[in-house]
Structure 1
Amino acid sequence: MAQKIKAATVLKNEKIHKLLLLVTLFIGNSIVNISHAATLKVCYDQWPPMTIFPSEASSARGFVIDILHEIYTSKGYKIEYYEVPLARGLDMVANGDCDMLPEYLFSKNSEKDFEYATQATFSYTAAFIVRHDDPWIYNGVKSIKGKRIATGPGWDYSSLSVDYQNYITNLNNASFVEVLSGNDDVVERILHMIKESRVDLYADNILVLQYVMNRLNLNDELKIVQPGLEKKMVEMPIFSKKIPTTKRQELIKIWNEGRLSIKGKKEEMFINKYNVTF
């Protein structure tokens, strides 16, 4: 009987030893995998509801960042976010301090510093916003003559309408163009100015207009007018050319395939979370 007990004890100890060995190997592998998890450094600017800087009041980062997060974390990436003005973000990507920036208008002049993905982040419709009782509609540059137009310093609409851009930058029209400088609240200030009849109209991404109108509760005072400017605003992700080519191509491939997979109902789910819709 004693020998049987001894044999059983030895067998039990061997099983415990094997179990402990398996647990140790599992924990070790997990630690190695965590420590070697790929990190994606993302620069982005404030452009709600697409990209938003989180605050104490809200952790929301915007639906573009939500989509980016879904695409790369599903492939095992950890993401570091850098909330910076657009100009600084572009510099950081060009210098390799950030791996990518999720939205930037396509420009051949930028190709020397960045590489664009194939799949666009989004193609946005540009619309106008006016006072609710204003019957005005956009019918080319001739329809904005005599109207007081709001814009920001250096804002370039040429990818949407060369004629519109030429009109607002023409010094002969300077008395009809109000240029507002500032940081994140420029669009909000413009909408209040339209409400107060200090300017007449403003053109922007239709989702931006919806979001700010909802945020400021101005849907009874203002309205969105379509058609807007002639072309859509096609925003593309850009990737740093300081990244080794193999890694950069892998990041671009993950984006292209991931963005294609997030279409239709899934895309709408991300957008509708911010109470806006195309």
Structure 2
Amino acid sequence: MLFWVEAGIANTSHAETLNVCYDQWAPMTIFPSEASSDRGVVIDMLDEIYSAKGYQLKYYEVPLARGLDMVAEGLCDMLPEYLFSKNAEKGFIYASEATFLYTSAFVVRRDEEWLYNGIHSIKGKRIATGPGWDYSSISAGYQNYIDDPKNSNFVEVIAGDDDVVERILQMISENRVDLYADNELVLLHTLNRLNLTDKLKVVHPGFENKLLEMPIFSKKIPVVKRQELIKIWNEGRLSLKGEKEKMLLSKYNVTFAH
């Protein structure tokens, strides 16, 4: 009798654990360190939403490409932010409510007189990106350019288990690549954290469309369970609009330009 009670408790506990894969994209998603236990705006938001429904969240800090694989394989139930794309792999389902809609920008060396004004303006530039990163929804032309084999000598795909954005910015400062595009908030945060503002600068405009970031959920989760997890996110994200959202953002000194 005791055995079955304990087994039942274990199963209940397992059912209420949400396995979350996420990558370093500070200040929105952050790997905790000895210096700070902070996990970023979006992870705090996720924790508040699911904890209120009785879930325990278990985190796996991994590079984005590995996180996508782990969600597709069912090793993680979800990943909290992935750029919305109609061309996305089929191993996961998007939620309906976005985390945030971000403005994009570029980083170049401070002495560069360069602005993005279409695909022709990046020709001949050494562009940095990461594995699994898909820009097609914010600029189909840019994604096509970096995918085109004839441009491969000008595209550096930077992989690794550490902070890829940090590595890319260091590479730009060392003249190993020329430019990089990302969420403006992430670029400014990383430049300030690395004390690179005297060497690099953020330039506008970015891409023609904003970055729509959505949580994704594994297709390996049973349909009814997955629908429930997505419903919890959608309703929870809506409930955080307004003052609650401002409080989460202010913790990380994040302000959205309107």
Length-normalised TM-score, structure 1 = 0.76
Counterpart position of 2:57: 79
Which residue among 215, 230, 234 is the counterpart of 2:208? 230
For the 8 Å contact 2:65–2:131, the answer to whether it is kept is no
1:138 matched to 2:109? The reply is no
For the 8 Å contact 1:115–1:238, the answer to whether it is kept is yes
Which residue among 34, 39, 46 is the counterpart of 1:61? 39
Report which stretch shifted further, 228-237 or 82-91.
82-91
**What's the offset of the Cα at 1:34?**
11
Which residue among 176, 180, 199 is the counterpart of 2:158? 180
What are the Cα deviations for residues 218-250 of structure 1, in whole angstroms up to 9, with x where unaligned? 223322111101222222112233333333222
Cα distance in 1 between the residues matched to 2:74 and 2:147: 34
Counterpart position of 2:145: 167
What are the Cα deviations for residues 37-85 of structure 1, in whole angstroms up to 9, with x where unaligned? 6322222223222222222222111111100001111222222222233
What letter corresponds to residue 147 of structure 1 in structure 2? K
Number of equivalent positions: 247
| Residues 107-122 of structure 1 aligned to structure 2 (within 5 Å) | 107-108=85-86, 112-122=90-100
For the 8 Å contact 1:211–1:275, the answer to whether it is kept is no
Give 5+ residue unaligned stretches, structure 1. 1-31
Cα distance in 2 between the residues matched to 1:238 and 1:143: 33
Give 5+ residue unaligned stretches, structure 2. 1-7
Q: CA 1:222 to 1:253, structure 2 compared with 1: closer, same or farther past 3 Å?
A: same
Which residue among 16, 19, 22 is the counterpart of 1:41? 19
Q: CA 1:220 to 1:43, structure 2 compared with 1: closer, same or farther past 3 Å?
A: same
1:147 matched to 2:125? The reply is yes
For the 8 Å contact 2:82–2:216, the answer to whether it is kept is yes
For the 8 Å contact 2:62–2:161, the answer to whether it is kept is no
Cα distance in 2 between the residues matched to 1:252 and 1:98: 14
Cα distance in 2 between the residues matched to 1:194 and 1:106: 27
Q: CA 1:150 to 1:245, structure 2 compared with 1: closer, same or farther past 3 Å?
A: closer
Report which stretch shifted further, 107-116 or 164-173.
107-116
Question: Over alpha carbons, which structure has the higher Rg?
Answer: 1
What letter corresponds to residue 199 of structure 2 in structure 1? E
Aligned sequence identity (%): 72
CA RMSD of aligned residues (A): 2.8
